[in-house]
Amino acid sequence: FLIFINLWTSPGSLWFPFILAGWGIGLAFHYLASRPSRIIEETEKEIASIEYHARKRKKDAGQ
């Protein structure tokens, strides 16, 4: 749709690719922000595992 408006109003100057690029970047950021990151999930699991093993070692050392 934008290409037709661009070619109809100013055929010598192509501006529609810049609009589409900005729109695509916005969609990509929206997609990344709307779903939980695997890196964050993996980091939280790793931290929980480290805390679990640290508490277990502390408990075993106390006995």
Interior/surface letters 24-62, b for 16+ CB within 10 angstroms, e for the rest: eeeeeeeeeeeeeeeeeeeeeeeeeeeeeeeeeeeeeee
pLDDT digits 0-9 by tens, 6-36: 899 998 999 999 999 999 999 999 988 887 7
**How many structural domains are present in the chain?**
1
Provide the residue range defining the domain that includes 42: 2-62
Question: pTM, whole model, 2 decimals?
Answer: 0.50
Residues 6+ apart with CB under 8 A from 46: none
Q: Count of alpha carbons within 13 Å of 11, Cβ hemisphere only?
A: 1
**Mean per-residue pLDDT over the chain, rounded:** 89
